[in-house]
Amino acid sequence: MGETEGQKLLTVDDALKMNRKEVLETYKNYIHQGRATLSALIGIDTNFVRASGCKVWDENGKEYLDFVGGYGSLNLGHNHPAVIGALRKVEEIPVMLQSALGKFAAALAHNLAKIAPGDLQNCWFCSTGAEAVEGALKLARIYTGRKNFIYCLNGFHGKTMGALSVTGKKKYQEPFEPLIPGCIPVPFGDLPALEKALGENDAAAFIVEPIQGEAGIILPPEGYFKEVRRLCSSYNTLFILDEIQTGFGRTGTLFACEQEGVVPDVLVIAKSLGGGVVPIGGYITTSAIMKKAYGSSIDRTTMLTSTFGGNNLCAAAAIAAVETIVTENLAAQAAEKGAYFLDKLKNLQQKYDIIKEVRGRGLLVGLELSESGGLLDFLSAGSVKKLSSEFLSSMIGGEMQNKYGVLTLFTLNNPNVLRLEPPLIVSYEELDYCVEAFDKLFSRHKSFFKIALQSGKGVLSSIFRR
Ligand SMILES: Cc1ncc(COP(=O)(O)O)c(C=O)c1O
């Protein structure tokens, strides 16, 4: 039976040819109206048609620098030839054949064991960061036989039920309650609070990020993780370190925990493991933990299945991604470029009150805007209390994108912080360009206030109407 006009399906070629307006309308009707409306109002509904390295181009050939970096999944930049090349090499082998042992998954796990700190050796693979966190939490329960988890306020571990239960933001948690029971929040960096929680709760695991990314790029106090390691060991609680955003060179070493001089019991990975092209996540743990948790006999193996986890295509891309990150020494590049970038941004901070703080490590950098008496208040014409500042911050992102061609976004748990996490292959010229763009934006911020106020009024009234 042929399809009628009303049933016509769009092809890949049709999607490739869509213009900005068509993307907006289709997205609005078939995915999410609010997201589409907000993007259009802020002017970031740009139709990107090409990407390479740190650069992306829109349908009119305009060039942009990507400082969002796929939230940390683009350490190698867009469409890195080594990753695309690996995908081409395996295009004729079966991508998914669950009855066979995945040789690419095995090779990837072998390589991860070689580069991971300490005695971390056995991997489990899945497709996303949140799923990797689920796997790590389950590993902790089955290993310890305990139920509770300790996590950090403002921390971010993903939005599936288990990961959300240990994500420290009420806005994301409350509509979905009841979440999994026995999850106890403690402030990040607060060792007495952690020790109290460990003493009172018989916890299976403490899950934490080495640097809180979505909280607004929050660094731990000096020596924090050494004590975390000691405390977790003394309470027989697993120490799960979520390096989904910080991993694979982002903070100046392959894994951020190397700079803290600690080895967790479970290291959770995703994002840049896929080389910016494929979705792959997982965890790596010690063989002793894996053995006790899932045994070396056959009866528990089916507990670890995941249809797409470690499939040949994703694992091959990940092998190439890891190899490139290691051989090109991108971690050291991130350390050097990050120090240079941070220094330049700190100089800007001296010039503009609107910049409250600049912080970060390697190329995981946050620029925090001052809320009171600053841009946000002015922009909102006093409506800050009424309006979620997420949308106001997005307007500044829109200005950076449309006026200066630099893509930035705000961190999920702190919308006053602009995340700056370009691919680690970013050039010094590109870093300079980003700093100069901020300089220009803030130096003409009086007139920018007016422009943004005008465009902002539309956004504000639309949001208030909803
Ligand atoms: C530290 C951390 N953990 C987990 C996640 C969730 O990963 P995903 O979005 O792939 O589920 C994120 C995503 O931003 C993250 O930054």
Of the listed ranges 194-203, 300-309, 379-388, the one predicted with least confidence: 379-388
pLDDT of residue 177 exceeding 50: yes
Question: Which numbered atom of ligand 1 lies nearest the CA of 130?
Answer: 11
Question: Does one domain contain both 308 and 213?
Answer: yes
Which of 294, 327, 360 represents a domain boundary (last residue)?
A: 327
Token pair belonging to 8: 């016509």
- Identify the CATH number of the domain in which residue 219 sits: 3.40.640.10
Query: For residue 43, what pLDDT is reported?
Result: 85
If you average pLDDT over every residue of the chain, what do you get?
91
Residue 295 shares a structural domain with residue 323: yes
Range of the domain at 450: 15-75+330-465
Q: How confident is the model at residue 390 (pLDDT cuts 50, 70, 90)?
A: low
Instruction: From 297, 327, 357, give the residue that closes a domain.
Output: 327
Q: Is residue 158 within 6 Å of ligand 1 at its C-beta? A: yes
Q: Is the shortest distance between the CB of 413 and ligand 1 below 6 Å?
A: no
Whether 201 maps to a domain, the answer reads: yes
- 446 pLDDT band, cuts 50/70/90, is low
Give the number of the atom of ligand 1 that is nearest the alpha carbon of residue 158: 6
Average pLDDT over residues 10-35: 96
Atom of ligand 1 nearest to the CA of 412: 14
- Testing ligand 1's pocket by substitution, the residue of 242, 271, 283, 412 carrying the most ligand atoms inside 8 A of its CB is 271
Q: Is 320 in the pocket of ligand 1 (CB under 6 A)?
A: no
Residue 5 lies in a domain: no
User: Is there a contact between 423 and 77 (Cβ–Cβ < 8 Å)?
Assistant: yes
Residue 77 has pLDDT above 80, yes or no: yes
pLDDT tier for residue 121 given thresholds of 50, 70 and 90: very high
Residue predicted with more confidence, 178 or 447: 178
| 9 within domain boundaries | no
In this structure, are 195 and 130 located in the same domain?
A: yes
- Lowest mean pLDDT: which of 37-46, 299-308, 453-462? 453-462
What b-and-e string marks burial along 125-144, b requiring 16 or more CB atoms within 10 Å of the CB? bbbbbbbbbbbbbbbbbbbb
- pLDDT above 70 coverage of the chain, percent: 89
- Residue 6, domain member (yes or no): no
The reply to whether 171 and 282 lie within a common domain is yes
Q: What is the pLDDT of residues 325-380, one digit of tens each?
A: 999 999 999 999 999 999 999 999 999 988 999 999 999 999 998 864 445 555 55
Please report whether residue 3 resides in a domain.
Answer: no
CA of 279, closest atom in ligand 1? 10
Is residue 76 a contact partner of residue 425, using CB atoms and an 8 Å limit?
yes
Same domain, 243 and 110: yes
- What is the tally of structural domains in the chain? 2
Within a domain: 2: no
Q: What separation in Å is there between the alpha carbon of 69 and the centre of ligand 1?
A: 13
Residue ending a domain, among 327, 357, 391, is 327
Q: Same domain, yes or no, for 29 and 126?
A: no
Cα dist from 408 to 28, 207, 246, 438, whole Å: 23, 28, 18, 11
Q: Is residue 8 part of a domain?
A: no
Q: Region 298-309: what's the mean pLDDT?
A: 91
Q: Best substitution site from 134, 156, 273 to test ligand 1's pocket, by max atoms within 8 Å of Cβ?
A: 156
| 340 and 229 within one domain | no
Per cent of the chain over pLDDT 90 is 79
Same domain? 232 vs 311:
yes
Task: Specify the residue with its C-alpha closest to ligand 1, atom 10.
Answer: 129
User: Is the C-beta atom of 127 inside 6 A of ligand 1?
Assistant: no
Same-domain pairing of 413 and 266: no
User: What is the tens place of the pLDDT at every residue in 221-280?
Assistant: 999 999 999 999 999 999 999 999 999 999 999 999 999 999 999 999 999 999 999 999
- Is there a single domain that holds both residue 189 and residue 278? yes
Mean pLDDT computed over 180-185: 97
Residue at 85 is within a domain: yes
- Residues 123-148 have a mean pLDDT of 98
Q: Read off the CATH number of the domain in which 412 is found.
A: 3.90.1150.10
Q: Does residue 324 surpass a pLDDT of 60? A: yes
The finding on whether 244 has its CB within 6 A of some atom of ligand 1 is: yes
170 and 93 within one domain: yes
Cα–Cα distance between 335 and 252 in angstroms, integer? 4
Q: Cβ of 99: how many Cβ atoms within 10 Å? A: 4
Shared domain check, 138 and 284 = yes
